[in-house]
Amino acid sequence: MTNALGIIIIISLFALWNLDLIATLLNLKALDPKLPKEFKGIFTEEKYAESQSYTRVTSKFGIFQSTFNLALTLTFWLIGGFGWLDTLTRGFGYGEIITGICFMGILLLGQTIIGIPFQLYSTFVIEEKFGFNKTTPKTFVVDQIKGLLLMAVIGVPILALILWIFNSIENAWLWAWLAFTVIQLLLTYLAPTYLLPLFNKFEPMEDGELKDEINAVAKKCEFPLTEIHIMDGSKRSTKSNAFFTGFGKNKKIALFDTLIEKHSVKGLVGVLAHEIGHFKCKHIVQRMVVGIIQSAVLFYLIGVVTNPANPVAQTLFEAFSVENVSVYAGLIFFFILFAPVNRVLGLLSNSTSRKHEFEADAYAANAQGTPNHLIDSLKQLSADNLVNLTPHPLPVFLDYSHPPMLKRIEALRKLKL
């Protein structure tokens, strides 16, 4: 059985689930069978109906998955699963660090195994049905293995370091935060060169009109572009995207091969000018600074809930029926406890992100001297990815990191360049 704090956490988790359910149902109700005028000529009536069907199917699947995950978490908790697992891993006879790695590793492995059927259904049933899936069973299995190996090679040492700091050093939260921040920045720098190529191939873009146009807009925007790559996104999906990587004066562009196939040169340059806008408007730096500050607060609170002498920590562990206060279990319990606060922070983060998207759109339109190229690309991306064109305001407020496509296009058309 749990205590008063545990009951409060359970009520909070149900409240969050219920909020998501209401938002999803309102989103489904807001689906308008009439195609918005802005998208005529891009969406056929059949394509528009398909996009709405895709929204319905993915939304219902999301409801089922979130309900299952909540039920599983609460069942494991209320039957004493966390206490049982703590007793099991302590019985191995190792120290706090190895015990913590075993405890969290078993939870992560169990979560991964339970999540695989959902991934399989999403990839090979839903995405396949709507023509998106290009993932083969072999690629799926290899991706899972690579993901687990990366967790073992990178995640385990990081976890071991955090556990060691909290178990060995005064003001542990501060040192753990500093270590985590350095590692996070290092991985951000190394990922494009060493981690992303483990999953996709990156080929240098061949000389031609597109490369010349990209270099021209980068030069016009005083953007230090060093490399342009084509990524084999079609290996897994027909969906399109593009992104920038790199620090300082070494910026790299990666375009999905599916993006190049379906967009005009001017449209592609508009998409890339939008990404350049994020850098020129300092959005990347702002998000990084906010993230670092948030992580400092998180590590401080983790220090509170993992201190055996702190009444809050004792109450929290009692709520989860775990006898011994430990850093490794405290990490898990903290993020369950923190879920409602994290959702509030997510609202602020998404609101800021949507504002940044409008600003980057405006930058791209000014860089090209017209909003039309970016508008054309946004419309094409909507059709290619079967985007919901009429989302309800509540899910937009709760979960959208990007404004709805119609809002973005309306804002672009109102610009005075």
Name the catalytic one among 86, 127, 359, 361.
Answer: 361
CA 89 to chain centre: 31
In 3D space, the residue among 23, 62, 10, 52 whose CA is nearest the CA of residue 347 turns out to be: 23
As to burial, measured by CB atoms within 10 angstroms (0-12 exposed, 13-18 middle, 19+ buried), residue 41 is exposed
Known catalytic residue at 46: no
Catalytic, out of 20, 38, 127, 275: 275
281 touches 360 (CB < 8 A):
yes
Closest CA relative to residue 158, chosen from 140, 186, 180, 185? 180
Active-site residue 213, yes or no? no
**Burial call 58-97: b when 16+ CB within 10 Å, e when fewer:** bbeeebeeeeeebeeeeeebeeebbbebbeebbeeeeebb
- CA gyration radius for the chain? 24
Buried b or exposed e, range 159-169, using 16+ CB within 10 angstroms: bebbbbbbbee
Position 414, amino acid: K
At residue 171's C-alpha, the angle toward residues 167 and 173, to 5°, is 75
Residues known to be catalytic: 275, 361
